């Protein structure tokens, strides 16, 4: 069996790639997908620990996180559609509504 440390490193790598995607990308949809990737990195960690401790509670938490991700995708994509409707672009740098 692969030691759990490997899963910890893989999960942190995926999380960092997701965080870098949010920072580096200008496309709102790619930023949004990076957030989903970060959620999935946390899910992988939960599954690995639930296997390591022989407890199934982690699986239930992952199930609930999947639900949250679905809800987040629905609301987030509605926001993106609205933004596109107003500005005809989804380049994140073009939105500066809160900047004085």
Q: Where in 10-39 is the site for another protein (CB under 8 A)? A: 10, 12-21, 23-27, 29-30, 32-34, 36-37
38-57: which residues touch another protein (CB under 8 A)?
A: 40, 43-44, 47-48, 50-52, 54, 56-57
Q: Kindly state the number of chain residues that form the binding site for another protein, as judged by CB under 8 A.
A: 73
List the one residue from 68, 97, 98, 100 that touches another protein (CB under 8 A): 68
Whole-angstrom CA distances from 94 to 27, 82, 90 are: 10, 14, 8
Q: Is 87 in the site for another protein (CB under 8 A)?
A: no
- SS3 at position 51: helix
- SS3 at position 98: coil
- SS3 at position 91: strand
């Amino acid at each position: 069996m692969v030691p759990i440390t490997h899963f910890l490193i893989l999960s942190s790598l995926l999380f960092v790639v997701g965080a870098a995607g949010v920072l580096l990308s200008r496309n709102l949809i790619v930023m949004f997908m990076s957030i989903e990737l970060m959620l999935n990195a946390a899910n992988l960690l939960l599954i690995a620990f639930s296997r390591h401790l022989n407890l199934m509670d982690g699986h239930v938490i992952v199930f609930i996180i999947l639900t949250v991700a679905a809800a987040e995708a629905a609301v987030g994509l509605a926001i993106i559609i609205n933004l596109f409707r107003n500005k005809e672009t989804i380049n994140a740098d073009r939105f500066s509504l809160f900047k004085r």
